[in-house]
Amino acid sequence: MLPALDAFAPELILVSAGFDAHRADPLAQLALSEGDFAWAAQRLRALALQHCKGKLVSTLEGGYDLPALAGSVQAYLGGLLRD
């Protein structure tokens, strides 16, 4: 997805920041970790800086294991702040 986003060169990036893909979440049964969410945030931030002057909007929309949700949101926000 990231190469396609890079090729598209958006003027604004909107992120539906759902964290139900976390390995502890009972809904999606995927195996992502906090580190994966931080990595995704770093890549999205880099693309936003490259293509749209840093314009990136994230909205929280999912995550059903509360400890995993808290850690994932913290990691995602931390990833947005890293270079």
- The answer to whether residue 68 scores a pLDDT higher than 80 is yes
Predicted pLDDT of residue 29: 85
pLDDT (tens digit, 9 = 90+) per residue, 13-65? 999 999 999 999 998 889 999 999 999 999 999 999 999 999 999 999 999 99
Predicted pLDDT of residue 43: 96
Domain hosting residue 37, numbered range: 2-81
Q: Under a CB-based contact definition with an 8 Å cutoff, are residues 37 and 78 in contact?
A: no
Q: Under a CB-based contact definition with an 8 Å cutoff, are residues 58 and 8 in contact?
A: no
Predicted pLDDT of residue 82: 87
Residue 13: half-sphere exposure toward Cβ, Cα within 13 Å: 27
User: What's the domain count of the chain?
Assistant: 1
Residue 69 CA to chain centroid, in angstroms?
A: 12
Burial class (CB in 10 A: 0-12, 13-18, 19+), 23: middle
